[in-house]
Amino acid sequence: MTLPAGDQQRYIVPRWHTSALAAARAELAPLRLRDQPLADAEGLMEEKLDAWRRNRSLSFAADLVGAALLFQEVPAEALAAAGFILTSPSATPSARMLARRVVDPRSADESEADPAILVGSKERSARIRDLRHGLREGPRNPLAWADLSFEYASAGLRDKSVSAMEMALRLAPTSRFVVRSAARLFLQAEEPDRAVQLLRHTETSRFDPWVMAAEIAASGVARRSPRLAKVGATLIVEKRLPAGHVTELSSALATLEAQAGDLRRARRFFNLSLIDPTENAVAQAESAAREINGMQLEARHLELPGSYEARARQQLQVGKFGDALKNSWLWLADQPFASDPASFGSYVAGVALRDYAESLRLIEVALVANPSNWLLLNNQAFALASLDRLDEAEKTFDKIVVTRGERGKYPVWRATRGLLQFRRGRTANGREDYLEALRLFQIGGFRQAAAIAAAFLAREELLAGGDAKKAVDRAAKLAKTARLREADQWIADLQKAVATGKLTEDVR
């Protein structure tokens, strides 16, 4: 089991939320200069008011409240809808947060903003049903089409998600929220060139820093040179916009500078991105801080609502494995269509906490939207094999498609095959697979992946009665350069097992 060992470059691609939750985020605040409306606010508000009048339910109340925040217009009926949400025991935490903001714009209480409970399939189906019903009555609502796309993507219905988002784009081609949401969907659908084209050709790309940031990030994913980096840098130098509006643009430019090797300029742009950041910019800075000296996140950054990814990654680094797992679940709840939260969380559960059942639970949730993701399947096969559910593990492993030339994937695949070989009693074959994986990891410079693979090779040698001491010594040597707390913990337990000749549940 591993974290991604190949191209580990993180790009600050747009986060994607429902319109109701996005309305509470800084991303949707209007620009002070040359502002563009998100959509036909008057028409959309009237549609949402009509829908609420006809359907006094939580979903329509949340829709109206979200629109009120989005367009900074709070009619009396939106206040009534907010009151309806706050008095309903079945209202979701995010709906309550938005309702409080409508009732009291000064409210800073976001204690219930965390989506601590994942949306189940029944609730997701109900959301889709409510959105489709609302769109039959008001088909000109681009926010509802974008929300429907989000729900479809989270349910693994990619074609329907794309179709719904295309409708949102036709209705609101200059909406920052719709354009960035669509770009994120196209990246999720493995169509990065389509995301780049959309961002480059939307009218707002000429002046909107949020669109510029997305274009730079999407170009990176597509392995293309960004077109908006120069104008974006000029916009930042002019200092005509508040820091909160250029946080992701600064972060995207910092990532470009880091890739080019100019760490001084990268550090400067990252520091600008952290003045008034989004949680996405915090996650980008947390990732970069491991490679760039002189960067340090403050407590306020990690306390920013929605900073689940940054918290989880930092907590893993410092050995707070239980907290890292909790924030992995919250990250997955926040971005249920994505694979990264479960890839990361399954590693925390399976490697750091050695809770293979919990690892499987995370993976099973994420596979709904990402059924062919190779890393999810790999981690699932590992967890199943570690539980000695070998038939299931091999069935899962056979779904992974990888070629020898894929430097970030092939050695991971080879190590997992080694585990399966060991567990089937084919010790020599398993050892050969693991050793080849280690060789490839070391050639590729993947020190951390090599340390983890070596630790699991030592575990299998110990369980199979092989030369465990030699394997543990090798793993210990690799762990010294990897600086992973979870690897160090494995080494200590394996060394103890070799010294005492006693196997505990912790090393099985």
pLDDT for position 290: 82
In-domain check, residue 440: yes
In-domain check, residue 67: no
pLDDT for position 359: 97
In-domain check, residue 119: no
Four-point Cα dihedral 26, 27, 32, 35, nearest 10: -150
In-domain check, residue 496: yes
pLDDT for position 71: 64
Beta strand segments in 438-487, E:
none
pLDDT in tens, 248-267: 999 999 999 999 999 999 99
pLDDT for position 97: 72
Mean pLDDT across the stretch 459-474? 93
Contact of 212 with 235, CB cutoff 8 Å: yes
269: pLDDT strictly greater than 90: yes
pLDDT for position 8: 59
In-domain check, residue 449: yes
pLDDT in tens, 376-397: 999 999 999 999 999 999 999 9
Mean pLDDT across the stretch 31-49? 60
Compute the distance between CA of residue 353 and CA of residue 349 in angstroms, rounded to an integer: 5
In-domain check, residue 160: no
pLDDT in tens, 84-115: 999 988 776 667 777 887 887 655 444 444 44
35 pLDDT band (50/70/90 cuts)? very low
In which domain, by residue range, is 407 found?
402-508
> What value, to the nearest 5°, has the Cα angle with vertex 239 and ends 236 and 244?
75
Nearest one of 464, 332, 460 to 386, comparing CA atoms: 460
Lowest mean pLDDT among 48-57, 372-381, 498-507: 498-507
In-domain check, residue 484: yes
Token pair in block for residue 330: 């919250």
Four-point Cα dihedral 202, 204, 208, 212, nearest 10: 20
In-domain check, residue 429: yes
Token pair in block for residue 277: 């950041």
Domain count, the chain: 1
Q: Which long-range contacts (CB under 8 A, 24 or more apart) does 412-417 make?
A: 412/2, 412/5, 412/375, 412/378, 412/437, 412/449, 413/374, 413/378, 414/440, 415/2, 415/453, 415/456, 415/457, 416/1, 416/378, 416/381, 416/382, 416/385
